[in-house]
Amino acid sequence: MRYIVAGLLLLIAFPLSAAEITRQPLEGDTDLISVTGVLNDGDEIVFRNVAAASSKALVFLNSEGGDLKAGIEIGRAIRLRGFATATPPGTLCASACALTWLAGSQRFLQPESNIGFHAAYRVVDGKASESGVANALVGAYLNQLGLSETAIAYVTSAPPEGIAWLTAAKAQSVGITYDAIDEDGPDPASEAGKTFPHDPMGAVTAFYSALAAADGETASALVVREKRGQGPFNEASIHAFYGAMSQPLKLTGTALRSNDDVRVSYQYVTSDGRRCQGRADVQTTYVFGKTLVSRIKALDGC
């Protein structure tokens, strides 16, 4: 447990930016490896390179998910090396990240953190549908980790547009074991604030950059969890709409209007030639140690 507390202190001393994989020494022969941000293809290679010098490590995970292959392969590397996994206080580890967390030789979970699972999927004709091949790979991976059939069924039960949040009761009922991080450790709220600063401009810019790339997975991950996967925040809907542009969305301006609100201006041309030069007021909120989009109000009808 002392390694976890020491790791939390290091996260304060060395703030992490999005999508970074870093290593810091703890006391003795244990290292802290931190994986923060949306997982991308190739991150598993970065992780292996970073972890190569560690004989013993605690892997801190703070990610909305991302590339399935990266999450599974990082998990395999963790299990092969016998590393433990943990979530920092007040953070989020969902989708592919949650699969990585399961690989820990010892799993730690802070009560204020959130672990979420859903079935693997693919986007076909703009619609998300469960992928039998991908879920077979997930099932094989979870079987290699030694999870029971009940646990595997639970991990892959939520549909692509939903998510199953792990609770202590559910973990016990399906046989997913973990140790709770000592509540006498550093305060979760203060740690989350120091480690992941409140950044409405950065969050909104990242969200619109994901829209411009028609990257529904990344865009949805930047939205508050209660709206994630719903309506305009659905991964497949984002991919279908923004992927069909004849001229992709371009963010042309951002202005901070209040502590949480950002006004954006943008332009795009749809596949049928409709041109939009629009503005929107984007409301953000600070949860799970991250600034997330909570509401968007279009001002110009597009």
The per-residue pLDDT for 77 is: 93
104-144 residue pLDDT tens: 988 998 877 889 998 776 655 555 556 677 778 888 899 88
| Alpha carbon separation from 27 to 32, 57, 58, 140 (Å, rounded) | 10, 11, 12, 36
The per-residue pLDDT for 7 is: 47
Structural domains in the chain?
A: 2-193 (3.90.226.10), 198-298 (3.10.450.50)
The per-residue pLDDT for 186 is: 42
| Residue 40 neighbours by CB under 8 Å, 6+ apart | 19, 66, 67, 70
Alpha carbon 279 to chain centroid, angstroms = 27
| Alpha carbon separation from 302 to 52, 277, 279 (Å, rounded) | 49, 8, 8
The per-residue pLDDT for 130 is: 63
The per-residue pLDDT for 136 is: 86
* pLDDT level of residue 234 (50, 70, 90 thresholds): confident
The per-residue pLDDT for 129 is: 55
Q: Are 76 and 49 in contact (CB under 8 A)?
A: no
The per-residue pLDDT for 4 is: 46
| Alpha carbon separation from 147 to 76, 135, 139, 152 (Å, rounded) | 14, 15, 9, 6
Alpha-helical segments (H) within the chain:
2-13, 43-51, 68-81, 96-101, 132-144, 149-155, 168-174, 188-195, 200-212, 216-221, 235-243
Is a pLDDT exceeding 50 seen at residue 166?
A: yes
Q: What whole-number percentage of the chain has pLDDT above 90?
A: 32
Is a pLDDT exceeding 50 seen at residue 52?
A: yes
User: Given CA atoms 230, 236, 239, 245 in this order, what sign does their dihedral have?
Assistant: negative
14-42 residue pLDDT tens: 333 346 899 998 777 789 999 998 898 89
Is a pLDDT exceeding 90 seen at residue 268?
A: yes
The per-residue pLDDT for 209 is: 86
| Alpha carbon separation from 200 to 114, 188, 255, 290 (Å, rounded) | 21, 21, 10, 10
The three-class DSSP label of residue 234 is: coil
Where is average pLDDT lowest: 124-128, 152-156, 238-242, 270-274? 124-128
Strands 127-130 and 121-124, bridge-based pairing:
antiparallel
Average pLDDT of every residue of the chain? 81
* pLDDT level of residue 288 (50, 70, 90 thresholds): low
The per-residue pLDDT for 210 is: 83
127 φ, ψ (degrees, to nearest 5): -120, 140
The per-residue pLDDT for 221 is: 77
Is a pLDDT exceeding 90 seen at residue 301?
A: no
Written as six digits, the tokens of 176 are 């997913």
